Amino acid sequence: MSLRIRPAREADAGLLLSLIRELAEYERLAHEVVGSEELLRRHLFGERPAAEAVIAEVDGEPAGFALFYTSFSTFLCRPGLWLEDLFVRPQHRGAGVGRALLAHLARVALERGYGRMEWWVLDWNEPAIGFYRSIGAEPMSDWTVQRLQEAALRALAES
């Protein structure tokens, strides 16, 4: 097996959207995918990229991806790497693709002088949770996620 991790390119927008849809299906959230290739192109490869993505290829075929961006810790006074999504296609799970993607991101974080790497995991996703524990990740059980969706975001901005 030949495994390669490479940066996503603008021409990969369709592939990324396909992988995002596969991830959403796995997470039982397919109904929430409303993005498009054009939005991915604009926000990943446009004038001011908001995030980066890497693609894992096994024997030249797409096997998974990771999408990430820079966060910032006021306590560390250093940036961090926020992993928004990690996905490995089912036929490639258990072969080291996920670990290779995370190891790649860990190297990126260290090379850039970041102080940490963080991500969310759904509480029912026991295989992922077990995998994350095996690489040394620690749960942040004292924290809960808060989110403003578009309507609430707009209402707050207009208040």
Distance CA 17, CA 29 (A): 14
Q: 82-110, pLDDT tens digit by residue?
A: 999 999 999 999 999 999 999 999 999 99
The predicted pLDDT at position 57 comes to 98
* Residue matched to tokens 């596969």: 22
114 is catalytic: no
Query: What tokens does 120 get?
Result: 């969310």
CB 81 within 8 A of CB 68: yes
CB 40 within 8 A of CB 10: no
CB 112 within 8 A of CB 69: no
For the domain covering 3-157, report its CATH number: 3.40.630.30
Over pLDDT 90: what percentage of the chain?
96
Query: What tokens does 153 get?
Result: 């975001």
Q: 38-80, pLDDT tens digit by residue?
A: 999 999 999 999 999 999 999 999 999 999 999 999 999 999 9
Over pLDDT 70: what percentage of the chain?
100
| Domain map (residue ranges) of the chain | 3-157
Q: What residues form DSSP beta bridges with 84? A: none
Distance CA 8, CA 158 (A): 37
**Which member of 26, 69, 114, 132 is catalytic?**
132
Kindly provide the b/e burial profile for residues 59-79, where b requires at least 16 CB atoms within 10 angstroms of the residue's own CB: eeebbbbbbbbebeeeeeeeb
Distance CA 105, CA 20 (A): 18
Helix (H, G, I), strand (E, B) or coil at 113: coil
